[in-house]
Structure 1
Amino acid sequence: MPAGNKSDRLGQEKISKLLIKLSLPAIAGMIIQSLYNIIDSIYIGNLGTEYLSALSLAFPVQLIIIALGVGTGIGASSLISRLLGEGRKKRASNAAEHVFILAIVYGAVIGTIGFFLSDEIMSIFTNDPVLIDLSQRYIRIIMTGSLAIFAPATFNYILRGEGNTFLPMVTMFIGAITNIILDPLLIYGIWIFPEMGVEGAATATIIARTLGGIFITFVLFSDKNEIKFNFKLFKFDFQIIKDIFKVGIPAMVNRLMFSFAITIINGILGMYNTTAIGVMGVVFRLQSFYLMAVFGLNQGYLPLLGYNYGYKKPERMKRTVLIGWLTALTFGAIGFTVFQVFTEPLLRMFNSNPEFIEIGIPAFRKVSISYMFMALNVIGAGTFQALGKGVPSLVITFLRQALILLPSMYILARIGGLDSAWFAFPIAESIAFIVNIIWVVLLLRKNMKEMKNENMQKEYVKQE
């Protein structure tokens, strides 16, 4: 029986009410976080299309950093919610301590690599000396200060594991608002600040994330959480690392594959011109704004499903899945409608270059066809992660990106040119969705049958 604490509500309160409570703060935080990435691009885009293209080239490296932090965080959140559902609070706290140490190790390693090798890293993606110079100036600062990214990324998931999504939202708000304020000051050199261009955008990001990281660290070490840190009694446990990475590594690889896919996509688009690369960067940033709402929903959904899985409540699990998937489908429909109707005004926020608009409008309308499938694929991955199964989401991501998206984009580009290439996105997402839904249904049926049998045996023992 779970401990009588805050997380108990995950196994008792009404599912729809809980999902709203848990998801809304996460959605708000994720959207505001995505907003400052978009604002970054708007300010940088006003400097010229080559700056946007440089930012797009640096984007995969940023995704690798985020993948490490978020992947570890997802693994931790899944493990912590399941442990709390089983009533093992001390082990849940010990898992959180391991995550804290991992974040510091990540920051030290990535920071060292970025400081010494950023120029060589960006040379992998392009031979254009202007783009190499601009992108490496940006990514060196991001990598050197990466501890500021890892801390809030991983620590927020510790709190989400116990069902607290409000304080992670506050953390993201602190970072986002700070970034939005600092961006124009450091990029353009307003008031007492130096004009730093792309380096200003990177510096603003690191300062903002640092403030968010300081806030969430103080929260974690307070005595108001169900998770308690006590490093005096800390003992390294390889099984905890294994349990975190069992879900965390597939989550990381999912995002790393996305980073790899973007690199290849940029190469395919580069066969036409660098403006197409800039368009793809803007498409991904605007897409991420919509997807952050879906990810926020997923962050409320994951601990709720994971807790009831640990608590052995199949009926609550079934209702959580049904409500979560229907909500994701609604989000997907809204995203599709907005980006179909307001395509040109959204693109003009970044750049009004006629070639940019000409390429961007059909690109965005074709890519956004995939959004309903994309939303359901995100919540499908969250279902596997909540149940402690990281491999299925990894397999589906590999299918979608490596086996379908990249080959189909290359083939369509060769057959029909740039205009046809964009159709690769809805093709990949729709096929992945079919595999996703079949796998989820089979897994849930198996788990729920096992739980019902186990619960029946417990009732029989009690009666005896």
Structure 2
Amino acid sequence: MITTQTATASKLSRTFTLLKESLRGGNHDFTKGSIRRAVLLLAIPMMLEMAMESVFALVDLYFVGHLPHSSYAIQTVGLTESCLSIIYSLAVGMSMAATAIVARRIGEQNPVEASKAAMQAITVSILFNLVIGIAGFYFATNILTIMGASAETARLGTNYTRIMMAESLIIVMLFLVNGIFRGAGNAAIAMRSLWIANIANIILCPVFINGLGPIPAFGLTGAAIATTIGRGTGVVYQLYHLFNGKNIIKVHLAYLKPHWEQIKAILKIAIPGIMQFVIGSCSWIFLAELVATSGGDRGSAGYQTSIRIMLFFMLPAWGMSNAAATLVGQNLGAKESMRAEDSVLKTVKYNVIYMGSVMLITFLAGSYLTGFFTNDAGVREVATKSLHILSAGYIFYGIGMVMMSAFNGAGDTWTTTWVNFFGFWLFQVPLAYVLDKYFKMGITGVFLAIPIAETCMAIASFLLFKTGKWKNVKV
């Protein structure tokens, strides 16, 4: 009995020590030692990081969902987030390129080249997003109209969309710099930057939406102001750690000077990486427009509510899958291809356990979760139905995310791009349209198409992973 208690206490002590170490961060060699320990050291802060990213949309959704005439506000937030997903595509594409190259250089024990690659990725991102931000600000009303918003929603939501589109550079920097730290194996800094950004957003959202003292009530527009300030605060924290010289990535302003060969190498990975997310994002935009036209404002608001809740649970799983990208990149750099594969399979196991648990929570508490974000009974009914259907594929979503991260971490971004193209545009989108229009299932058909397609894509990705071709990609 004493031996059992001692063993349990020892196990709890080791777990607590590992948790503290993962949250503290630092420089670790993930090419040696226990794979389980390596996965958890990376996955714990990465899950917390992505949980915080998902909180941005939910905080906005919660506060605007309790405004008068909240259906237009919820729809504006949802449609804008769907459009911003293209910017997220650019952010994630550049981030995955930075992670892959930095991780490979770190695995090769070459931190100077890793630092130079990081700064070149920042240079490219700044140039691209200045153009995107200006265009998004100018065409905000048109964007909402094209997305299927009613004339009234487009009119009332323009300022919100305008501010959110203008902050594209901040969004990309938040993702990109975190990708650099993840590639270097220091996921704790990335996690803390999102915590800081979210704390600022949570504090400022009710202030700018409802007003406080000399600050007027901006309503829906206030949510955009708070989010922009919050994310900006996170970026300032990132840049401090990037330039303070205390981490394995040590950068200098001179590294910002364009180096075309390095930029070419980054874009070789980033462009298909951006494409794979643009393909997915455009698919989600099409589905959002299909729901808006078939289900009206309440149908659209309900769908957007369920998507935000789903993302809240899925982003931590995405964070865990990011551990696979770092481990694959660093171990391939160290010529440890079998260790890279074992790391991915271990991450799949943990992600399946997490997503299976989330699926049960969603089925049992779906109505409560949706009711927390809206007082509108019609919106809540649609959101609950959508959430129940979407959650049926959670386990396969988790498997697919790890496979995608593994390919991307190896620099094999084309494989995931093709899987996304066939899965989203040649299967999911046509299936949603046919179920909606020809089988007269309405928005229910759109909801069903999502888990069906994601399941097929996860299976295809796993089969491609087992071929092992990703191990031979040069970065």
SS of the aligned residue for 2:244 comes to coil
CA distance in 1, matches of 2:110, 2:358: 40
- Structure 1 residue aligned with 2:46, among 26, 29, 32? 26
CA distance in 1, matches of 2:464, 2:396: 15
Q: Say whether residues 1:11 and 2:19 are aligned partners.
A: no
What is the TM-score of this pair, normalised by structure 2?
0.89
Residue by residue over 1:200-257, the C-alpha shift from the partner in whole angstroms, topping out at 9 and shown as x without a partner, is: 0110011001111111101100111112212336653323223222332223223222
Q: Unpaired runs of 5+ in structure 2?
A: 1-25
**For residues 115 and 267 of structure 1, do their structure 2 counterparts lie closer, same or farther at Cα, with a shift above 3 Å needed?**
closer
SS of the aligned residue for 1:9 comes to coil
Matched to 2:327, the amino acid is: L
- State the partner residue of 2:471: 447
- State the partner residue of 1:408: 431
Q: Say whether residues 1:313 and 2:354 are aligned partners.
A: no
Residue by residue over 1:279-311, the C-alpha shift from the partner in whole angstroms, topping out at 9 and shown as x without a partner, is: 111111111111111111122221111111111
Matched to 1:112, the amino acid is: I
**For residues 323 and 119 of structure 1, do their structure 2 counterparts lie closer, same or farther at Cα, with a shift above 3 Å needed?**
same
- Structure 2 residue aligned with 1:374, among 368, 377, 397? 397
CA distance in 2, matches of 1:152, 1:45: 26
- Structure 2 residue aligned with 1:123, among 131, 140, 145? 145
**Equivalent runs, 1:79-94 vs 2, <5 Å:** 79-94=101-116
Residue by residue over 1:113-148, the C-alpha shift from the partner in whole angstroms, topping out at 9 and shown as x without a partner, is: 133222233332236211212332112111223322
What is the TM-score of this pair, normalised by structure 1?
0.91
**For residues 134 and 399 of structure 1, do their structure 2 counterparts lie closer, same or farther at Cα, with a shift above 3 Å needed?**
farther
- State the partner residue of 2:124: 102
CA distance in 2, matches of 1:18, 1:193: 47
Q: CA deviation at 1:7?
A: 5.5
**For residues 52 and 127 of structure 1, do their structure 2 counterparts lie closer, same or farther at Cα, with a shift above 3 Å needed?**
closer
- State the partner residue of 1:456: none
Quote the RMSD (CA, aligned, Å). 2.0
**For residues 337 and 247 of structure 1, do their structure 2 counterparts lie closer, same or farther at Cα, with a shift above 3 Å needed?**
farther
Q: CA deviation at 1:39?
A: 1.5
For the 8 Å contact 2:80–2:144, the answer to whether it is kept is: yes
Q: CA deviation at 1:25?
A: 0.9
**Equivalent runs, 1:276-425 vs 2, <5 Å:** 276-414=299-437, 415=439, 416-425=441-450
For the 8 Å contact 1:188–1:195, the answer to whether it is kept is: yes
For the 8 Å contact 2:99–2:182, the answer to whether it is kept is: yes
CA distance in 2, matches of 1:9, 1:164: 11
Q: CA deviation at 1:84?
A: 1.6
Q: Say whether residues 1:434 and 2:459 are aligned partners.
A: yes
- State the partner residue of 2:234: 212
- State the partner residue of 1:66: 88
For the 8 Å contact 1:76–1:157, the answer to whether it is kept is: yes
SS of the aligned residue for 1:272 comes to helix
- State the partner residue of 1:154: 176
- State the partner residue of 2:212: 190
Moved over 6 A (4+): none
Q: CA deviation at 1:356?
A: 1.7
Q: CA deviation at 1:344?
A: 0.3
SS of the aligned residue for 1:423 comes to helix
Count of residue correspondences: 444
For the 8 Å contact 1:53–1:278, the answer to whether it is kept is: yes
CA distance in 2, matches of 1:317, 1:107: 34
**For residues 233 and 152 of structure 1, do their structure 2 counterparts lie closer, same or farther at Cα, with a shift above 3 Å needed?**
closer
Matched to 1:381, the amino acid is: M
For the 8 Å contact 2:83–2:285, the answer to whether it is kept is: no
**For residues 127 and 327 of structure 1, do their structure 2 counterparts lie closer, same or farther at Cα, with a shift above 3 Å needed?**
closer
- State the partner residue of 1:175: 197
Matched to 2:451, the amino acid is: P
CA distance in 2, matches of 1:395, 1:331: 27
Q: CA deviation at 1:432?
A: 0.9
For the 8 Å contact 1:58–1:135, the answer to whether it is kept is: no
CA distance in 2, matches of 1:348, 1:228: 47
For the 8 Å contact 1:126–1:132, the answer to whether it is kept is: no
Q: CA deviation at 1:263?
A: 2.1
CA distance in 1, matches of 2:404, 2:66: 37
CA distance in 1, matches of 2:428, 2:313: 20
For the 8 Å contact 1:185–1:191, the answer to whether it is kept is: no
For the 8 Å contact 1:73–1:155, the answer to whether it is kept is: yes
Identity %: 25
CA distance in 1, matches of 2:185, 2:384: 40
Q: CA deviation at 1:351?
A: 1.3
For the 8 Å contact 2:119–2:255, the answer to whether it is kept is: no
Matched to 1:392, the amino acid is: T
Q: CA deviation at 1:385?
A: 0.8
Q: CA deviation at 1:179?
A: 0.3
- State the partner residue of 1:249: 271
Deviates more, 1:56-65 or 1:275-284: 56-65
**For residues 64 and 197 of structure 1, do their structure 2 counterparts lie closer, same or farther at Cα, with a shift above 3 Å needed?**
same
